[in-house]
Structure 1
Amino acid sequence: MQEKWEDKHIVFFDGECGVCNFWVQWILERDKNDRFMFASLQSEFGQKFLYERGLETKIFNTLYLWKPRHYYYTKSRAVLQIAHILGGIYKLSAVGKIFPTFLSDQVYDLISRNRMKMTNQKCFLPDQEQKKKFIDI
């Protein structure tokens, strides 16, 4: 039997980061076509994703977007791809692709290093409908 997440784009995020949780909520509110699911990098599912790809499993400063059985994006490219998938006005973010990845990732890394100082939001509690979009909750 096919898992419910296998046809979705999965956003892996730092489950202990207020900024990350803010953006998860932001995506949830705009995901009108039900294209995304979410998993924290600290979860068993998140750790398996990282381990299988030889990625860092202890430091959670990178956002990943994964389409199962296909590809995954990291950092700034993940952000731009999420906006593209959301569609509508968010597709305008594609202009960000004109910048080389190493430059846009430098901006991403700067934000990532300072993210814990950027918000006091600590915990996001999804409602019953939103819980269906999370893996390992």
Structure 2
Amino acid sequence: MSSDGARSHEGPVVVFDGICVLCNGWVRFLLKHDRQGRCRFAAMQTDAGRELLVSHGLDPDDPVSFLLVEGGRAWTDTDAIRRVLTGLGGAWRLAALSSLVPRFVRDPLYRLLARNRYRVFGTTACHVPTKAERSRFVG
């Protein structure tokens, strides 16, 4: 990854599908609720997003997993979602309770949704960040 890529930023990087309606909604949700501006975003269609997926063992042409990269570590699926939500603080920390449901139950349900995201939610143009949001997008 280039020296100005996601690894040089201290906060977490969320890799998302830039044409998925659900994924773009997730990014808009995080832009609104991450008041400290911790999270940065990389669409999987960008060089930076593809590079992050590949470097963490995910197929950039068929990602069925959510990827969060923070501090040199990576989380996928429901562990990644839980980590992002609890990182928002406040009432969002209650997302930690999702760990009470075993991963072997949570993750297959998540992957089923991920595999069918276009069929269920449709596709759209990639989220175009506002001028104020641009610094939070990688690649």
TM-score w.r.t. the length of structure 1 is 0.88
SS in 1 for 2:121: coil
Structure 2 equivalent of residue 21 of structure 1: 24
Please tell me whether the aligned partners of residues 17 and 122 of structure 1 are also in contact (alpha carbons under 8 angstroms): yes
Q: Bigger shift: 6-15 or 51-60?
A: 51-60
Structure 1 equivalent of residue 84 of structure 2: 82
Structure 1 equivalent of residue 43 of structure 2: 40
Please tell me whether the aligned partners of residues 38 and 134 of structure 1 are also in contact (alpha carbons under 8 angstroms): yes
Please tell me whether the aligned partners of residues 18 and 121 of structure 1 are also in contact (alpha carbons under 8 angstroms): yes
> Displacement of 1:134 after TM fit?
0.3
Q: Using the aligned pairs only, state the percent identity.
A: 28
Distance in 2 between the 1:33 and 1:54 partners?
30
RMSD over equivalenced CA pairs, Å: 1.8
Amino acid at match of 2:54: Y
Where structure 2 has 5 or more consecutive residues not aligned to the other structure, the ranges are: none
Match of 2:99 among 97, 100, 115: 97
Q: How does 1:49-64 map to 2 (within 5 A)?
A: 49-64=52-67
SS in 2 for 1:12: strand
> Displacement of 1:36 after TM fit?
0.3
Where structure 1 has 5 or more consecutive residues not aligned to the other structure, the ranges are: none
Amino acid at match of 1:15: G
Distance in 1 between the 2:5 and 2:111 partners?
32
TM-score w.r.t. the length of structure 2 is 0.87
Structure 2 equivalent of residue 127 of structure 1: 130
Distance in 2 between the 1:83 and 1:51 partners?
24
